[in-house]
């Protein structure tokens, strides 16, 4: 079953965040992930959820998404994202 990482983020330090933007695609590809939505400004239709930027990454299965999150080589990039953005991240399973 496919799994998705959904990232809601506001960039606080774009210069610092540029390294993350440049390097993260290789790690996504390493774990067989692909962008479905990449950093776009969404349009809120209902409710009060108003993310500044939204990213959705698809993985063939939940285990690949978890391996991406747990990859020791990516942890410095995650710390960089935490330092340069305000973000929320969800891991969700797709429909069968």
Residue 36 lies in a domain: yes
Residue 50 lies in a domain: no
Q: Which domain holds residue 33?
A: 12-43+73-84
Q: Where are the beta strands (DSSP E) in 1-96?
A: 3-11, 34-40, 53-59, 85-93
Residue 96 has pLDDT above 80, yes or no: no
Q: Tell me: the pLDDT tens digits for 32-51?
A: 999 999 988 999 999 999 89
- Whether 4 and 94 have beta carbons less than 8 Å apart is answered as yes
* Domain tally, the chain: 1
Q: Tell me: the pLDDT tens digits for 39-93?
A: 889 999 999 998 999 999 999 999 999 999 999 999 999 999 999 999 999 999 9
- Whether 2 and 63 have beta carbons less than 8 Å apart is answered as no
Helix and strand numbers, DSSP H then E, in the chain: 3, 4
């Amino acid at each position: 079953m496919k799994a998705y990482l959904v990232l809601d983020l506001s960039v606080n330090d774009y210069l610092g965040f540029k390294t993350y933007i440049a390097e993260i695609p290789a790690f996504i590809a390493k774990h067989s992930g692909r962008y479905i939505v990449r950093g776009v400004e969404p349009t809120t239709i209902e409710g009060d959820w108003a993310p500044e930027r939204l990213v959705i990454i698809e993985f063939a299965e939940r285990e690949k998404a978890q391996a991406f999150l747990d990859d020791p080589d990516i942890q410095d990039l995650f710390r960089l994202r935490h330092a340069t953005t305000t973000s929320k991240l969800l891991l969700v399973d797709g429909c069968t």
